[in-house]
Structure 1
Amino acid sequence: MVAHSHHLYGRRSDGTLAAFCSATRELLVARSFRDITVAEIISCTPYARSSFYHYFDSKDDVLVSLAASVLAGMRRDPGEWALRLCADDMGTRSESWSEVFALWSRHDAILGAVIEEVHRSPAIAALWQKAVGKVVATVAVQVRSRCAADEVKSASAETIAAIVVCGIERILYVSSRGVEPRFPDVRATAEALDWLMSALLGRTTPLQASRWTASVSNDSADSFEIETQNSSFVTATSATAILEAMRILLLDCSVDKLSVARITRHAKVSRSTFYFYFESKEAAFVALYRDVADTAAMALHRLHAIDRSDATQLADALVRWLRIDEHSMAVMRSVLHEWPRAPELRLIYQTGMAAQVASLEALIVKDRAAGLAPAGPPAGELAAVLLWTMERAVAGALAAQPDMTDLETVVSCLVELFAAVVYGRS
C-alpha cells in the first residue's frame, strides 16, 4: 500500500496524508531518511498512528509518495528531457540542464533520500527505475542513430545509455550532498556533464567549448603520489579471521542485516575478542573496505606508468583497475550500495574517491600538456564526473540493474567511455 494513489499528496481534500508527507519532507531537510522514524513523522502532525497506517505500510511508502509527487510535477516528461539533452543545439541543451538543476535543487532532500535508499527498498527502486528507464530508452535511441554499428562494440546502446544516465544521477547526488568538493552545487556540473554526453554521442559542440584552451595547470603531474587508506594496522590473527569471516558472510547478506554474533561464530572467536579489535560491526566493515580501496587506488595510479598513446596498453590497464576479483566482490557490492546512507562509511569512501580523482586529474593535466588529450573542462571537474560515473555504473552492475546486469560488459563499456571522454577516441 502506497497512499492509495501517489497523486493524493497535494490534494487539498486529504489533509491527513499531506500532513504526513509534509512532515517527512521537513525532517529530511536536516536528517537522513535512515534516521527518521515513523514515530517522529507522526509526532510532527496532529494525527494518530492509526491514521498513518491507513495510508502507509511503512516510512518507505511516504518517500515513494513524495518522490512520485516530484516526478509528476516535472515540467517535461523524463524522456523529453533526455531528448533535449541529446540535441546538437547548445541553447536547447543549456536550457534543459538548467531545468534539471532547478528541479534537483528544489527537491534535493527528497531525491537525495531516494538515491540513498534505492538499493535497500524495492518500492523506492521500482519508482525510480521507471523514471530512469524512460531517460535510458530515449538516450539509447540517440546512441543508435548517431553511431555506426561498428562503433558500439562492447555493449548494447541501452547499456551505454544506462551507464551515462546513472552517472548523471550520481553527479547530481554528490554535488547536492557536498560529497564532491569540485562541485559546490549542482549547477557547477553543467560543462563536465555535457562533455560526457558529447563524448557518448560523438558531438563536437559541447557547452562553453569556445573558452577551453590547451593551457594546463602549473602543478606537476609527475610529483603526484597516491595516498592509501593505511589498512596495514589489522595484522593480528584473530582480527584477520574476523574480517575474512565478514567478507564471506557478505556474499549472502547485506551489512545492515549482518550481526556481530554471526560474524564471531563464523570466525570462531569470542564476542569480547571482536570488540577488542573493533568498536562495532561498522568499524570492522570499514577496515575490510580499506584494503580493497588501497588495491583500487594503486591500480589507477599504474595508469601513470604506461604509454597512454597506445590504446591497447591503456585499455588493458583500465580493465585491471575496474575489474573486481571474487575476493573483493562482496565487499565492493556492500560498499557501493551502503556508503550513501551509512555515515561511518561515507567519510572513508569520500576520502578514497578524492584520492582517485586527484590521480586522474594529474594524469589529464599531464596528457593535455603532452598533446595526448584534447582541451576540455577543468581537469579536476572532468576527472570527478568520469570517476563518479564509473563508480555508479559498477554499483548498478553489482545490483543487476536493468541494462547493466553483466559486470564484464559494463567494464568494457567504461573503458571505451574513458578513452572517449579523456582522449577523444571512439
Structure 2
Amino acid sequence: MSPAPAGRRRGPSKGDLREKAILDTARDLLSRKPLADITIDELAAGAEISRSSFYFYFDSKLAVVVALLHGLSGEVSRDAGPWLDGTGPDAEALRRSLAALATLWRDQGRLLAGALAAAPGCPPIARWRAALREAHVERLAARITRDRAAGHAPDGPAAHVLAAMIDDLRSAAFAAATDPEALVDDLVTVELRMMYGNFRVHHPDE
C-alpha cells in the first residue's frame, strides 16, 4: 500500500471515534436523567462497545464526566471576552455574555449542577471548578480595577473579592434555576450594581 501523501491529514482513529461516542452518549443521557442513575453498561451500549472495552478508554464514570467538563470549559468562557476585556457599565456586552452562559446551562445543566455539587468531595472535579473560577475571577478583577482607575466604578471591596462574589453568585443562581435564560436580565442588574453602584439598567423590552 502506498503511503499517504506528505502533509495530508489523517482522519480520527477508531479509538478517537469510540471515545467520542462514549462522551456523546454521556451527554445525551445527562440531558434525560441524573448522573447517579447512569451506568457504565449504558455508556458502553450507547457507544456500541462492550463493558470491558469501555475501560480501555475511561477507567470510571467519573473520568467520563471530567472529560465532558473539560470539553465545556471553552464554551463557558468563549462568549465572555467582549465583556471581560471591555470597560464601563456595558449592559449589552454583559447581557450577551450571560445569555450565552444561560444557554449552556439550559443544555448542560445536569452536568454542570452535578459537577458543582460534587466538587467539594471529588478532587478531579474540584480542580476543574477551581481553574475555571480562577480564570474568570482574574479577568473580572482586572476589569474592575481598570474601571475604578478610569473613574467608571466606585471604590469598594477588593477587586478580587468582588469578582469572586460575582462568580459565586451567578454559579449558584444558574445551578438552582429551572429556567436559566429567565435569570439573565436580573443577573445583569445585580452584577452591574455590584460593580458600579446604583446603576440604572435598561432592559431590551423597555
Q: CA separation of 1:86/1:50 partners in 2, compared to 1, >3 Å: closer, same or farther?
A: farther
In the TM superposition, residue 110 of structure 1 has moved relative to its aligned partner by: 2.6
Aligned to 2:196: 202
- 2:183 maps to 1:189: yes
In the TM superposition, residue 93 of structure 1 has moved relative to its aligned partner by: 2.4
Q: CA separation of 1:129/1:85 partners in 2, compared to 1, >3 Å: closer, same or farther?
A: farther
In the TM superposition, residue 121 of structure 1 has moved relative to its aligned partner by: 1.6
| Contact 2:83–2:90 (CA under 8 A) maintained in structure 1 | no
In the TM superposition, residue 25 of structure 1 has moved relative to its aligned partner by: 1.4
Pick aligned residue for 2:156 from 152, 156, 163:
152
Pick aligned residue for 1:71 from 70, 73, 79:
73
Q: RCO greater where, 1 or 2, for CA within 8 Å and sep 6 or more?
A: 2
What are the ranges of 5 or more consecutive residues in structure 2 without an aligned counterpart?
1-10
CA-atom RMSD in angstroms: 2.9
Q: Percent identity?
A: 23
Tell me the alpha carbon deviations over residues 382-413 of structure 1, each in whole angstroms, 9 at most, x when there is no partner: xxxxxxxxxxxxxxxxxxxxxxxxxxxxxxxx
Q: CA separation of 1:98/1:209 partners in 2, compared to 1, >3 Å: closer, same or farther?
A: closer
Query: Aligned partners of 1:30 and 1:85: how far apart in 2?
Result: 38
Pick aligned residue for 2:48 from 46, 53, 56:
46
Query: Aligned partners of 2:202 and 2:87: how far apart in 1?
Result: 12
In the TM superposition, residue 17 of structure 1 has moved relative to its aligned partner by: 0.7
Amino acid at match of 2:127: A
Tell me the alpha carbon deviations over residues 189-230 of structure 1, each in whole angstroms, 9 at most, x when there is no partner: 12221122112211524242995xxxxxxxxxxxxxxxxxxx
| Contact 1:136–1:161 (CA under 8 A) maintained in structure 2 | yes
Q: CA separation of 1:69/1:210 partners in 2, compared to 1, >3 Å: closer, same or farther?
A: closer
Q: TM-score, normalised by structure 1?
A: 0.40
| Contact 1:168–1:193 (CA under 8 A) maintained in structure 2 | yes
| Contact 2:79–2:97 (CA under 8 A) maintained in structure 1 | no
Query: Aligned partners of 1:16 and 1:210: how far apart in 2?
Result: 47
Aligned to 1:115: 116
Query: Aligned partners of 1:17 and 1:210: how far apart in 2?
Result: 45
| Greater Rg by CA | 1
What are the ranges of 5 or more consecutive residues in structure 1 without an aligned counterpart?
1-10, 179-184, 212-426
Query: Aligned partners of 2:188 and 2:121: how far apart in 1?
Result: 30
Query: Aligned partners of 1:85 and 1:197: how far apart in 2?
Result: 15
Greater alpha carbon shift after TM alignment, 32-41 vs 121-130? 32-41
Q: CA separation of 1:47/1:70 partners in 2, compared to 1, >3 Å: closer, same or farther?
A: same
Amino acid at match of 2:156: V
In the TM superposition, residue 123 of structure 1 has moved relative to its aligned partner by: 0.8
Amino acid at match of 1:169: S
Query: Aligned partners of 2:77 and 2:155: how far apart in 1?
Result: 34
* 1:271-282 to 2 correspondences below 5 Å: none
Q: TM-score, normalised by structure 2?
A: 0.77
Aligned to 1:32: 34
Aligned to 1:142: 143
Q: CA separation of 1:146/1:43 partners in 2, compared to 1, >3 Å: closer, same or farther?
A: same
| Contact 1:143–1:157 (CA under 8 A) maintained in structure 2 | yes
| Contact 1:194–1:207 (CA under 8 A) maintained in structure 2 | no
Q: Secondary structure at the match of 2:47?
A: coil
Amino acid at match of 2:126: A
Q: CA separation of 1:87/1:132 partners in 2, compared to 1, >3 Å: closer, same or farther?
A: farther
Q: Secondary structure at the match of 1:107?
A: helix
Query: Aligned partners of 2:174 and 2:140: how far apart in 1?
Result: 18
Q: Secondary structure at the match of 1:117?
A: helix
Amino acid at match of 2:174: L
Query: Aligned partners of 1:173 and 1:85: how far apart in 2?
Result: 27
| Contact 1:70–1:107 (CA under 8 A) maintained in structure 2 | no
| Contact 2:89–2:192 (CA under 8 A) maintained in structure 1 | no
Amino acid at match of 2:203: Q
| Contact 2:137–2:167 (CA under 8 A) maintained in structure 1 | yes
Amino acid at match of 1:138: R
Residues matched between the structures, number: 189
Q: CA separation of 1:207/1:86 partners in 2, compared to 1, >3 Å: closer, same or farther?
A: farther
Aligned to 2:5: none
Tell me the alpha carbon deviations over residues 104-154 of structure 1, each in whole angstroms, 9 at most, x when there is no partner: 223223323322322232111211221221111111123333448x9435x
Amino acid at match of 1:133: E
